[in-house]
């Protein structure tokens, strides 16, 4: 899938968004819904009830072959080969410097097949990088991003939606199959994937479906969602939801300039195998200075990307993402701060429009 300059990409659900009156925006070359009603309404629907998202702009890459286990262990700092069938994990691609190129969810489909989801802006970059690092591994790497759609159902009531659709609700980071009678290039049969994953911090699932049935699936989910007062949600709410829960945004909270220790996701690293960037990452484990943290402001000022963080007139960090939290009703931010000052509860000051605004340091997961 090649994104051509000036020509927006559209998911298989584009017409559905237009029918619903969505406000469409450009997102890394994709024409995607920002909101349908309002970002706040959609945000609160997910936190209190249920919402649904089109996330079909995300990538779909399949690795298969007799060396699949060895290959995935080589390209990731996690021991992906330890996954059992129908399990998935969160991890990241690292460059030779040990810094994060992109993060992803990777699934074990079978003994010698894995499926992973790169971020929309990095689909071609990651696919080409994987080919370049194939070396002598006996694997086949296929990019199916233009044939697969993703629908996320998120919120406390998401389990009821899945039950009403006649499906089973999987555990977090596990997935199940549901037969739909349409050939799926990911599963190799007539099943869709029901994954216990999400990007909102709420209970939820993500449905991985062939494009041919994407509209039908969207309409079925929407019908059930509306019955209980839920609503379709756009990228705006997805962003505020993930910020409250301290979830990284590739290309904004990191961009080949941060390692997993700095980004507060050291849990993905396992040094008991060889992987790209390992030697440098071992060094950085002891040497890194800044760490990813959350920041809660005293008022509704918004700390934007690039804003500086101060303590006693000394610059000690910078903001990478910020918004007004609909739940906390105050400004929140995510960013990097000198580890010396990163303790939860510490007071810092963020420079916003020439003024220093007081904030409190928290773990990246700002909202419990």
pLDDT digits (tens, 9 = 90+) for 80-126: 999 999 999 999 999 999 999 999 999 999 999 999 999 999 999 99
Tens of pLDDT, residue by residue over 159-182, are: 999 999 999 999 999 999 999 999
State the Cα angle at 91 between 293 and 247, rounded to 5°.
30
Max intra-chain CA distance, the chain: 64
Tens of pLDDT, residue by residue over 193-209, are: 999 999 999 999 999 99
What is the model's pLDDT at position 7? 76
What is the model's pLDDT at position 296? 98
Check: CB of residue 101 under 8 Å from CB of residue 122: yes
Pair (297, 220) in one structural domain = no
At 119, which CATH number? 3.30.70.1400
Confidence of residue 2 (pLDDT cuts 50, 70, 90): very low
How many structural domains is the chain composed of?
3
Q: Is the pLDDT of residue 4 over 80?
A: no
Is residue 36 in a domain? Answer: yes
Our measurement of the distance from residue 331's CA atom to the centroid of its chain's CA atoms, rounded to an integer in Å, reads 22
Is residue 259 in a domain? Answer: no
CA distance 236 to 302: 15
Is residue 235 in a domain? Answer: yes
Boundary-marking domain end, from 244, 263, 278: 244
Is residue 68 in a domain? Answer: yes
- pLDDT, mean over the chain: 97
Tell me the mean pLDDT in the region 218-231: 98
Confidence of residue 140 (pLDDT cuts 50, 70, 90): very high
Give which of 299, 180, 326, 163 is closest to 243, Cα–Cα: 326
What is the model's pLDDT at position 3? 46
Is residue 121 in a domain? Answer: yes
Pair (45, 189) in one structural domain = yes
Pair (150, 137) in one structural domain = no
Pair (163, 116) in one structural domain = no
Q: Report how far apart, in Å, the C-alpha atoms of 148 and of each of 32, 59, 61, 213 are.
A: 16, 8, 10, 10
What is the model's pLDDT at position 205? 98
Tell me the mean pLDDT in the region 63-68: 98
Boundary-marking domain end, from 212, 244, 276: 244
Tell me the mean pLDDT in the region 24-36: 96
Pair (30, 97) in one structural domain = no
What is the model's pLDDT at position 6? 62
Burial of 344 per CB tally in 10 Å (0-12, 13-18, 19+): exposed
Pair (209, 311) in one structural domain = no
Is residue 275 in a domain? Answer: no
Question: Does this model's pTM top 0.85?
Answer: yes
Residue range of the domain that includes 294:
289-362
């Amino acid at each position: 899938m090649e994104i051509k300059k000036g020509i927006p990409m559209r998911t298989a659900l584009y017409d559905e968004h237009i029918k619903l009156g969505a406000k469409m925006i450009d997102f890394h070359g994709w024409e995607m819904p920002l909101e349908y009603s309002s970002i706040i309404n959609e945000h609160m629907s997910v936190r209190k009830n249920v919402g649904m998202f089109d996330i079909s702009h995300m990538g779909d890459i399949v690795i298969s072959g007799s060396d699949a286990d060895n290959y995935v262990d080589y390209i990731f700092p996690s021991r992906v080969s330890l996954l059992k069938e129908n399990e998935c994990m969160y991890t990241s691609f690292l460059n030779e410097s040990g810094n994060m190129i992109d993060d992803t969810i990777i699934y074990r489909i079978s003994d010698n097949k894995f499926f992973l989801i790169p971020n929309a802006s990095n689909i071609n970059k990651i696919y080409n990088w994987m080919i370049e690092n194939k070396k002598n591994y006996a694997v086949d790497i296929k990019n199916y991003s233009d044939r697969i759609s993703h629908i996320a159902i998120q919120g406390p009531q998401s389990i009821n939606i899945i039950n009403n659709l006649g499906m089973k609700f999987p555990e977090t980071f596990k997935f199940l199959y549901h037969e739909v009678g349409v050939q799926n290039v990911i599963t190799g049969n007539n099943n869709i994937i029901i994954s216990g994953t999400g990007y909102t911090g709420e209970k939820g699932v993500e449905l991985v479906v062939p494009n041919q049935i994407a509209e039908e699936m969207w309409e079925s989910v929407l019908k059930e969602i509306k019955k209980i007062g839920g609503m379709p949600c756009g990228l705006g709410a997805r962003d505020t939801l993930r910020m409250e829960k301290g979830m990284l945004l590739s290309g904004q909270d990191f961009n080949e300039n941060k390692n997993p220790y700095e980004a507060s996701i050291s849990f993905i690293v396992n040094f008991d195998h060889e992987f790209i960037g390992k030697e440098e990452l071992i060094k950085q484990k002891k040497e890194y200075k800044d760490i990813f943290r959350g920041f809660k402001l005293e008022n509704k000022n918004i700390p934007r990307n690039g804003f500086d963080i101060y303590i006693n007139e000394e610059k000690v960090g910078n903001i990478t993402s910020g918004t007004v939290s609909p739940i906390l009703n105050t400004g929140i931010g995510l960013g990097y701060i000198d580890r010396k000052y990163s303790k939860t509860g510490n007071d810092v000051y963020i420079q916003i429009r020439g003024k220093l605004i007081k904030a409190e340091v928290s773990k990246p997961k700002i909202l419990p």
